[in-house]
Structure 1
Amino acid sequence: MTTKATNIHPVFDRIIGRDEKEQFLNQKACVVWMTGLSGSGKTTIAIGLEKELQKRGFLTQILDGDNIRTGINKNLGFSEEDRTENIRRIAEVSKLFVNCGIITINCFVSPTLEIRKQAKDIIGEDFREIYVNASYEECEKRDVKGLYKKARNGEIKNFTGLDAPFEAPENPFLEIKTSDMTPEQSVEEVVNAILPQLIKNK
């Protein structure tokens, strides 16, 4: 059983606040949370979005599932408990970036309604959920990382969409159907939707 520490003294009230940092960066921070099956196009869209926003003078940070699991979450597996902890840590890191005024672009399967609600509860009103929608069949056909083949061969257990569930968002900020669009079209649609969210009121 973990005992809550009693010797913690936060200094949030003494450091430069988010509003001042947003004024400095001339942008409004938020978390663009992309959810969808592996291979649906989340990372491709995120990279395109980052490039387009930088052209317009916005400061961003991408948090991607594979990158995170080689660093801060390298000790976690893919059990239900570890997936929950994975998303909890990511949401807390995202909140830190937002408090620095930075637009955070997240690419995580985050497969269940409950796990994404956890992220939203931590991040708060700055959470913008984007459903990158591609069918299991389409993602398996792409199989850009070779994961679907390994899952079919039994080399990967609890693979989302095959032997672990994926629950589609019920009311996302935006839904992108990547089976029907080019990557460039997908990026353009996300840019157009998210840009008004990033303008800092003077």
Structure 2
Amino acid sequence: MRIHLETGRLVLRRFTTEDADLLLELDADPEVMRYLTGGRATPREEVEQRILLLYFSYYRRFPALGYWAALERTTGEFLGWFEFRPPDDERPDEVELGYRLRRSAWGLGYATEGARALIGKGFTEPGVERVFAVTMAVNQGSRRVMEKAGLRHVRTFFQDWPEAIEGSEHGEVEYALERAEWHARRRGPR
């Protein structure tokens, strides 16, 4: 079992308790948090007492999946993170893809590169049958990443949020890709 993954430009590895400050810095950027919290930063207590503990619980339950710190391969600079994990224990074969990157890494292809690597890992190793991702309908940047990673739009839906953020009135979108479809694309036309 690999607990890290390398691409041409990225190293994806498990988080440690020493990564709390990196997560705090990432979540302190209002633009990074725009479609998640309306721009509010994540408090230190939440990172240390909830978020990191959540990450660690996924490592115990699903050793090959979970949350991945994304580092630039040549410099080791922290760029953000990816999630590739089942949202619940009932469907471990259905995995959610997500990503949060520093603004300085936006538009450079890192999100697509990391997403493709995790999808490839999921569909070449046993266990994952479906990958899906969700974002706000107005989050065009994230939607482009999902499309470039090979996912297709499957639905638009509306949720009741305790605090609406700008754009939430347009709903959420789900993109997805099935294992069989991914393998068929890799084989190409016959």
The TM-score normalised by the length of structure 1 is 0.30
Higher relative contact order (CA 8 A, sep 6+): 1
Larger Rg, first or second structure (1 or 2): 1
The TM-score normalised by the length of structure 2 is 0.31
Is the helix fraction higher in 1 or 2?
Answer: 1
Is the strand fraction higher in 1 or 2?
Answer: 2
